[in-house]
Amino acid sequence: MIKAKKRFGQNFLVDPGIRGHILAAGHLAEGDQVIEIGPGLGAISEPILKTGAHLTAIEIDRDLIAQLQEKFKDHEHFTLIEQDALKVDWGSILAARPQAKLIANLPYNISSPLFFLLARFRMGFASQTIMLQKEVAQRMSWEEGDSKKDYGALTVAAQLMYDIRKICFAPPTCFTPQPKVDSMVIQLKPKTLPLEDEVTFLNWLRHCFNQRRKLLSKALKLYNQSGYEALEADWKERVDRVRPEELSPSDFLELYQALGQG
């Protein structure tokens, strides 16, 4: 019996209902290219393969790798990459699997860096159906009327780069061992962002929210005083009276471009 390892943030999905929601959201069909991060014990891998899709699973745990190799050794549509998802060559993987559908129960301890890594390659995916800590998923899928404390740089980045759909809620009882937090499944479909350098934009976004209770103009002056001074009067008047949480994702993109950094 394989035990979940804390260092890999493992919580194995055991609820068939949640598994069904994930598979249904993926709209898998015969011949589809599917990538699964952290297949664990293969609870989702097996039904994926039954659809006739080609599955590439990425796993870091050697004990699980051995079990997965044995379990799917006779399946011609199963490929296992034995590596850390944060270190694999995503460019090469997606070049060989155009418009792949990602399905993943992301380890909570690496969900944020993995999200931003995958975002860099998002146009190579048809969709990403992912399980996240509920708190993180709510920040990404924030809507008007939700608490402003959940609105931040992650919200803006996610909503500019993806169309986001909430799939289902998953309480701790859906996993073994049971995590101490609730989970949520969301689906991301990629959007283009009219910027040459997304990394610089994301760093700027984080800076804007570093002092979220202060006026946005303060952050802009600290980041680039001359850029702030060169803003048109309408924008300057606006950022002088609002906090970061008061701008929409599209506002942030327009502001960044108005600063001459687009």
pTM score, two decimals? Answer: 0.90
Contact 127, 26 (CB under 8 A): yes
pLDDT digits (tens, 9 = 90+) for 85-96: 999 999 999 999
Residue 182 is which amino acid?
D
Is residue 249 in some structural domain? yes
Q: How many domains does the chain have?
A: 2
On whether both 206 and 110 belong to a single domain, the answer is no
Is residue 1 in some structural domain? no
Per-residue pLDDT, averaged over 206-230, amounts to 93
Is residue 102 in some structural domain? yes
Q: According to the model, what pLDDT value does residue 2 have?
A: 56
- What range does the domain containing 234 cover? 198-258
Contact 80, 91 (CB under 8 A): no
Q: According to the model, what pLDDT value does residue 8 have?
A: 47
Per-residue pLDDT, averaged over 45-61, amounts to 95
On whether both 235 and 206 belong to a single domain, the answer is yes
Please give the Cα distance from 120 to 138 (Å, whole number). Answer: 21
**Taking all residues of the chain, what is their mean pLDDT, rounded to a whole number?**
92
Domain with residue 139: its CATH number is: 3.40.50.150
Backbone angles phi, psi at 131, to 5 degrees: -95, 130
Is residue 62 in some structural domain? yes
Query: Any idea which residue has 């899709």 for tokens?
Result: 53
Give the residue from 190, 221, 242 where a domain finishes.
190
CA quadruple 135, 82, 40, 57: dihedral, nearest 10: 80
